[in-house]
Amino acid sequence: MAAPVSNDVEVAEFAGQLFFRLWRASHTRTAEALDSIGLTPARFALLNVLGARDGAIQQQLSADMGIDPSAMVKLIDELETAGLAERRRRPNDRRAWEVTITPEGRRAIERARRCVMQVEDEVLGGLGAADRHQLLTLLRRALESAPPQPPWRTEEGD
């Protein structure tokens, strides 16, 4: 068994590489933590979007998350099977399905958020509270001004 890889910053000098390594560290741990409550990073990401965009149709959801509509189908299937979300026909347009979050889905969000915040504590643990807040602020500002993405593939939520 090989020794764990060190997070060598010296060779990861570009922002993109830093983003990737931090995302990877966060993603792995998040996947492990969410697994205990039957979620995946992608499912949690969708639940999170539903928490703010409840009742949106699938097209809007896939656009919001930046994933392919066909990937959204599978994701919603998973949530529906788990009883965390439901489809219902949009009254005025029977082509579209509005996706709503169930009460159990809301409870799952709360549990999942605690998991994810704990992971975030681990990943960003080396930073003090002020630095951490500053980092989050800068990340959000950078993202706001970053060039928009093409209508995209599958998102790995966290």
Spatial CA neighbour of 157 closest among 75, 88, 82: 75
Q: Torsions phi, psi of 86, nearest 5?
A: -140, 145
In Å, how far from its chain's centre is CA 113? 11
Residue (132 or 156) nearer to DNA, CB: 156
Q: Pick one of DNA, its own copies, none as the site partner of residue 130 (Cβ within 5 to 8 A by kind).
A: none
Tokens 């922002």 locate to: 15
* 52 is a site residue for its own copies (CB under 8 A): yes
Window 98-157: residues binding DNA (CB under 7 A): 152-154, 156
> Would you say 34 and 117 are in contact if contact means Cβ atoms under 8 Å apart?
no
Residues of this chain, 63-92, that bind its own copies according to CB under 8 A? 63-66
- From 10, 95, 103, 130, residue interacting with DNA (rule: CB under 7 A): 95
118 binds, among DNA, its own copies, none (CB under 5 to 8 A by kind): none
Contact set for DNA, span 34-73 (CB under 7 A) = 42, 57-59, 67-73
Distance CA 14, CA 50 (A): 34
Tokens of 138: 């800068």
Smallest gap from residue 133 Cβ to DNA (A): 30
| Residue 147 binding target from DNA, its own copies, none, CB below 5 to 8 Å by type | its own copies
In the list 49, 72, 76, 109, the residue contacting its own copies (rule: CB under 8 A) is 49
CB pairs under 8 A, 24+ apart, for 94-97?
96/57, 96/58, 96/59, 97/57, 97/58
Where on the chain is the footprint of DNA (CB under 7 A)? Answer: 42, 57-59, 67-73, 76-77, 87, 92-97, 152-154, 156
